[in-house]
Structure formats: C-alpha cells, structure tokens
Amino acid sequence: ETGVTQSPTHLIKTRGQQVTLRCSSQSGHNTVSWYQQALGQGPQFIFQYYREEENGRGNFPPRFSGLQFPNYSSELNVNALELDDSALYLCASSLQGVGETQYFGPGTRLLVL
C-alpha cells in the first residue's frame, strides 16, 4: 500500500504566473482534499474532489481550481499567483463513506516572489 505522494516538493514562481501541483492518493482512496498551510498556521481547506467532481469548497477565489482523474490522482491549479499564495500546499486522501480519516502527503512548498 503506497501513501499519499505530492510533486514537486518545492517550487518558486513569480507574481502573476500560474502553477500546477500534483497529488497521488493512497491506494484505494477515492477522495482528495487540498489544503493551504501558511507558515505557523493550521491547514485551511481549499476544496475536495470525489469521483472526479468537486465535492465542496472553502473560502478561496476561483483562481484556485482543481481536477481529479479516473485513477483518483488530483491536480491543484493556481492562476495569477499573488505573494500571499506562498505556503505549503497539502493533499489528503480518504475513502468516502468509511469514516473521516484523512491521510496527508508531505506537501509542496510554494514560494511566490
């Protein structure tokens, strides 16, 4: 059984650019949630995907978008990057309908200059 993996581990972008972050969910998990964790803060929920559909969204603007693929892997896309987007982006996978336990990946550290 493989855990949640994310790529890349680190990324540096400039303001206004676009970025795509990737996540492979734990084997057998059909749900992926994305979180933004600013330095010294708790993770903030961005959105969740279940069976390739967005299943809920937090207080993030539309320039944060996502995809989930048939193999349940997922992408987070952020357009028009702003300095405040600098954070650790975490992906968590779970199995819908079987408790709420989420398994987190190691995250992607994004720095926007």
Least spacing, CB of residue 34 vs another protein, in Å:
11
Footprint of another protein on residues 65-84 (CB under 8 A)? Answer: none
Query: Which DSSP letter does residue 85 get?
Result: G
State which of residues 13, 20, 30, 58 lies at the interface with another protein (CB under 8 A).
58
> Could you tell me which of 105, 112, 111 has the C-alpha nearest to residue 43?
105
Q: Which uninterrupted H or E stretch holds 37? A: strand 31-37
CA distance 97 to 28: 13
Identified binder of another protein from the candidate list 18, 41, 77, 79, rule CB under 8 A:
41
**Which residues make up the interface to another protein (CB under 8 A)?**
4, 33, 35, 40-45, 48, 50, 55-56, 58, 90, 92, 100-107
